[in-house]
Amino acid sequence: MTQQTSLSTRAWIELSLLGLIWGGSFLAIRTALDEIGPLTSVLHRTFWAMLVLWVVVIVRKEAIPRSLRIWGAFLVMGVLNNVIPFSLMAWGQLYIPSGLTSIFNAATAIFGIVVAALVFADERLSPRKALGVGIGFSGVCMAIGLDALAQFDTTSLAQLAIVAGTLSYAFASAWARKMLGGISPLVAAAGMLTGSSLVMVPLAMTVEGLPSFALGAAIWAAIGYYAIIATAVAYLLYYRVLAMAGSGNLLLVTLIIPPVAITLGAVVRHETLHPGEYLGFALLALGLSIIDGRLWRRAATTV
């Protein structure tokens, strides 16, 4: 995928829309957790999104893989990109604000750079990327807070669980590059969600029991939003933006999500964040901008 250095108006609009959709998912997930368990919330997310994407695959008459190797790769991808991070983050949101969860989620790009450098020979850390990773990682530590690590409790564990989820995302990205190259992104997304649903059905039912369908309207609205809009539709939009803007520009969505999630959490659930958590996000944003490099190159050319 070619990295573009400028964005069209249409690409900006769709990139911003993607950030708004994903930013709203944190509030929707936290709302659903008022009545359902974290594993059941993940089951709803993967199952309904899977059905929607397979309908799109069939309508578009995309080729469906028959190789067991590919379906095995889908299963592993589902575990790394859905089962582990979705479950850890949903559980973590029971104990920390949704806005803070979104800040930790922004570390996905930081860990992605590190994992890629460890796995792929052509992704070695340059001095600029290493600096960006270091600053970004310090942002994660700042958001967690030294006091949280010194006085380890459930809140601290929830924060670390969410960070572990972002690390799983990073390994999922490396797995996709290694094992799913040449497969239609739409089919890969549907196959991945199929793999994750196959894992989540027995896991959620064993741990939390049969899902209840006697839920309030607000809970069903939240499930519909994060499963259909923020997962199925967002995957389709994600690949559209990727095609238009390139992978480099797509990193910008990471900076759009937290302000949206923080604002919604504050307005709807009256969540508050500490100054250190905002500073942590600022350091994360700085690290990502250094990794991307274009802002600094542009500034240098204007001096």
pLDDT of residue 153: 81
256 lies in which domain range? 9-302
The predicted-structure confidence for 96-114, as pLDDT tens digits, reads as follows 999 999 999 988 888 988 9
Do the domain assignments include residue 2? no
Q: Is the pLDDT of residue 299 over 70?
A: no
pLDDT of residue 243: 78
pLDDT of residue 289: 84
Contact 88, 206 (CB under 8 A): no
pLDDT of residue 2: 43
Do the domain assignments include residue 207? yes
Q: Mean pLDDT score of the chain, rounded to an integer? A: 89
Domain count of the chain?
Answer: 1
Report the 10 Å Cβ neighbour count for 282.
14
Mean pLDDT across 184-194: 95
pLDDT of residue 171: 94
Do the domain assignments include residue 3? no
Q: Is the pLDDT of residue 303 over 60?
A: no
Q: With bands split at pLDDT 50, 70 and 90, how would you rate the model's confidence at 252?
A: confident
Q: Is the pLDDT of residue 71 over 70?
A: yes
Burial code (b: 16+ CB inside 10 Å, e: under 16) for 117-131 equals: beeeeebebeeebbe
Mean pLDDT across 248-269: 87
The predicted-structure confidence for 173-187, as pLDDT tens digits, reads as follows 899 989 998 899 999
Q: Is the pLDDT of residue 298 over 70?
A: no
Query: What is the percentage of the chain residues whose pLDDT exceeds 70?
Result: 92
Whole-model pTM above 0.75?
yes
pLDDT of residue 296: 60
Q: Is the pLDDT of residue 1 over 50?
A: no
How far apart CA 249 and CA 234 sit, in angstroms, is 17
pLDDT of residue 73: 96
Do the domain assignments include residue 28? yes
Do the domain assignments include residue 236? yes
Mean pLDDT across 259-277: 93
Q: Is the pLDDT of residue 297 over 80?
A: no
Do the domain assignments include residue 48? yes
Do the domain assignments include residue 1? no
